[in-house]
Amino acid sequence: MKLNNQTQLSDFLLLGFSEDPALQPIIFVLFLSMYMICVIGNLLIGLAIFSDTQLHTPMYFFLTNLSFSDICFTSTTIPKMLVNIHTQSRAISYAGCITQMFCFILFAGLYDFLLAVMAYDRFVAICHPLHYTVIMNSRLCVQLVLLCWVIGVLNALMQSLLVLRLSFCTHLEIPHFFCELNQMVHRACSDTFLNDLIMYFAAAFLGGGPLSGILYSYSKITSSIRAISSKRGKYKAFSTYASHLLTLSLFYGTSIGVYLSANAVQSSASTAAASVMYTVVTPMLNPFIYSLRNTDMKKALKRLQFHK
């Protein structure tokens, strides 16, 4: 493995969204606002669930982990971008770039797997309600979350180690607001065939696998709801998974749209702007989605506010 070119590396340059100095304060305020809403909203969700014993159920256990994943997901990219805007510097060290890429892959994968686990939870709750407490016991819930972490860490570690073997010459500018894996690989001056192969395999297996499980779960859920005779029963069953379905649509719809558009239109600025939808906007909206449509969560948030 040749490391002679890597020893000369000092910094990568994150080009972000725009080089116009007049737009930098607007971008800073916009992303700082979205980041604060995301962090505060997801922290409130976690505190409300933790403080209310009525919400100590599998569904809310997974939701707590999803909220934690949301915070980490956005914290991987946005703070560094805000610091760069504030200091008027686009630089990020080689080690910092690899670390950011590792964390982004980890928490993006964790988020993806947790959505699949939550879909399975709703499938058991609606399609097998009499056996729900037996199937979704606390031991299985913890094991499922640990499995999500293990797969996420292994995937992020593998992708990062493959990037470490690459040599980078002179093209150190990354036309994005964070060190995205695909952008990093395509800026290497050594052979990237193995990286591309593993990257596409991981996207198909670790992305397509959970998505297939989610689609299967919701097809069974839809069939079960259609079989319910009363309209009130249908509405009650639908309301238990409508929030999760909306989150799924936002995350997968925007992330798939970004990569399809990236292949169709070679515009790095457009890809970076579109990436904001699943890296920032979706985690920011999740607290509203899960609280505004959930009566139990509304009550828990009110009780949390009253205790304060």
Read off the pLDDT of each residue in 274-294 and give the average, rounded to a whole number: 81
pLDDT at 3 over 50: no
Q: What is the pLDDT of residues 55-114, one digit of tens each?
A: 899 999 999 999 999 999 999 999 999 999 999 888 899 999 999 999 999 999 999 999
Percent of the chain with pLDDT over 90: 37
User: Does 247 have pLDDT greater than 50?
Assistant: yes
- Neighbouring residues of 213: CB distance < 8 A, sequence distance ≥ 6: 116, 119, 120
Residue found under tokens 């890597």: 6
Q: What is the DSSP string of 133-198?
A: HHHT-HHHHHHHHHHHHHHHHHHHHHHHHHHHTS---S--EESSSS--HHHHHTT-SS--HHHHHH
For residue 279, CA distances in Å to 209, 252, 266, 272 come to 21, 11, 20, 10
The pLDDT confidence band at residue 5, using thresholds 50, 70 and 90, is: very low
**Residues 6 or more apart in contact with residue 43 via CB below 8 angstroms:** 67, 71
Domains of the chain, with CATH numbers?
6-307 (1.20.1070.10)
Rounded Cα distance between 193 and 151, Å, is 23
Contact indicator for 184, 24 with CB cutoff of 8 Å: no
| Residue carrying the six token digits 């504030």 | 86
